[in-house]
Amino acid sequence: MTATIRDEAGSPHPREPVISRHRDLALTFLRLGATAFGGPAAHIALMQHEFVGRRGWLTAGEFLDLVGAASLIPGPSSTEVAIYVGYRRAGLAGLALAGCCFILPAALIVTAIAWAYVRFGALPAVGGLLGGIEPVVVAIIAQALWTFGRAAVKSPLLAVLGAAALALDLLGANPLLLLAVGGAIAAAARVRRSALPALAPPLVLAAAGAAPVARDVSLATLFLVFLKAGSVVFGSGYVLLAFLRGDLVENLRWLTEAQLVDAVAIGQVTPGPVFTTATFVGYVLHGTPGAVVATIGIFLPSFLLVAASGPFIPRLRRSAIAGAFLDGVNVASLALMAAVSLQLARAAVHDLPTALIAVASLVLTLRYRVSSTWLILGGAVLGVVLAARG
């Protein structure tokens, strides 16, 4: 284990050359980004093994503090843990290096898959493969919704908030307003001990949404769509679906429901951050420039938020009001996930074979905890076999 000294903030500064520290960060996160399958929970477990157990860069308590900090800010949680580790290890340079190296392998892999999707997606074999994957993705989202819901719905107020947000989202509410209002009501309840009388008016206001308007694909708009999503999405990559569907399927009409399901499937089956779904969507819409712009847009807020929150997040994490606000945001996020999963299921589950694949996948992930990667690969094989048999 490398000997360390600490500055006034308690950050470790190993007694080793800066170049060596940067090299170790880059190589370690490039490897993790290329091999970390299984979603955010698996990524965090791998980082804990690497940086606490194997390298001793952080203590278990310090690592848990970083995980808790990442849960309090919007964006992809496992990517933000990686960025926090880089910041603790080598300051702002380490922050940029760790985050970029964790994202880069997945972004390159997804771009290659998106090229093949655009080039060969209409072929029968590829269509069968995607047809088998799509119902698996619906089951994975349902499993995540069940797991997160058991942890997030901690009180009757939060249950009411979640149900109201679900209903309003299905009626066309603005997702950003639903998250903001959900968090505000939960925080107000913490302060005043009862916010139920104030529940209806703000949630009704949140139902005001923009009418769908089809627009031409532009790199500037593409960047802003993903920048907004990266700035406000709490929780997991699944919550991203609600924003992508609202902006890209309903408002801008750049994607179909089936294309969005395919994008989610690619984000699931590849290593690294699930948010590289944005890379896939960007390539499908605008080629390589679109992939680059969408990737930068979705991840840029995480870098900025980690850099800004690093010195203050331990105190914020101990705040009861901040915690209550996050509880409200979380249940609203779950409502958005539930709404989008219903819409995606309509596109993905359209006959008896796809229904059986979805049900079997849900049983395997809930009862036997089978990895989502294996489920998606199995769905792909079944889809190809079914397509070959007509």
Give the pLDDT confidence of 72-107 residue by residue, as tens digits: 788 888 899 999 999 988 889 999 999 999 999 999
Section 148-165 average pLDDT: 86
Is 200 or 69 the better-scoring residue by pLDDT? 69
Q: How far apart are CA 48 and CA 63, in angstroms?
A: 7
User: Is residue 357 within 8 Å of 128, Cβ to Cβ?
Assistant: no
| DSSP assignment string, 161-212 | HHHHHHHHHHTT--HHHHHHHHHHHHHHHHHHS--GGGSHHHHHHTT--PPP
Got the DSSP string for 339-361?
HHHHHHHHHH--SHHHHHHHHHH
| Percentage above 70 pLDDT, the chain | 82
Structural domain spans, the chain: 4-102, 103-388
pLDDT one-digit tens code per residue, 13-65: 545 677 888 999 999 999 989 877 666 766 887 788 889 888 889 888 788 77
Place of tokens 């429901």: 257
Q: Is the pLDDT confidence value at 145 over 80?
A: no
Q: Helix, strand or coil for residue 310?
A: coil
* Mean pLDDT for the stretch of residues 354-359: 93
Higher pLDDT, 286 or 150: 286
Beta strands in the chain (DSSP E): 4-6, 12-14
Provide the whole-model pTM.
0.71
- The per-residue pLDDT for 220 is 92
* Least confident range of 127-131, 307-311, 380-384: 127-131
Cα–Cα distance for residue pair 52/35, rounded to 1 Å? 19
HSE-up of residue 50 (Cα within 13 Å, Cβ side): 19
Of 270 and 23, the one with more pLDDT:
23
Residues 6+ apart with CB under 8 A from 267: 110, 237, 274, 275, 276, 277, 280
In the numeric block, which tokens belong to residue 68?
Answer: 């808790």
- Mean of pLDDT values over 249-258: 85
pLDDT in tens, 157-210: 899 998 998 888 888 887 778 878 888 888 888 877 544 444 445 544 444 444
> Quick check: 264 pLDDT over 60?
yes
Predicted confidence (pLDDT) at residue 229 exceeds the cutoff of 60: yes
Q: What is the pLDDT of residue 300?
A: 95
Question: Can you read off the two tokens belonging to residue 53?
Answer: 């157990």
Does position 320 have pLDDT exceeding 70, yes or no? yes
Higher-confidence position of 369 and 364: 364
38: left (phi over 0), alpha (psi -120 to 50) or beta: left
pLDDT surpassing 70 at residue 3 = no
Comparison of pLDDT for 233 and 1, the residue scoring more: 233
pLDDT, mean over the chain: 80
Alpha carbon separation from 367 to 145, 336, 361, 371 (Å, rounded): 15, 25, 10, 12
* pLDDT tier for residue 123 given thresholds of 50, 70 and 90: low
Whole-number pLDDT of residue 276: 92
* pLDDT band, very low/low/confident/very high, at 8 (cuts 50, 70, 90): very low
Residue 64 in tokens = 């848990």
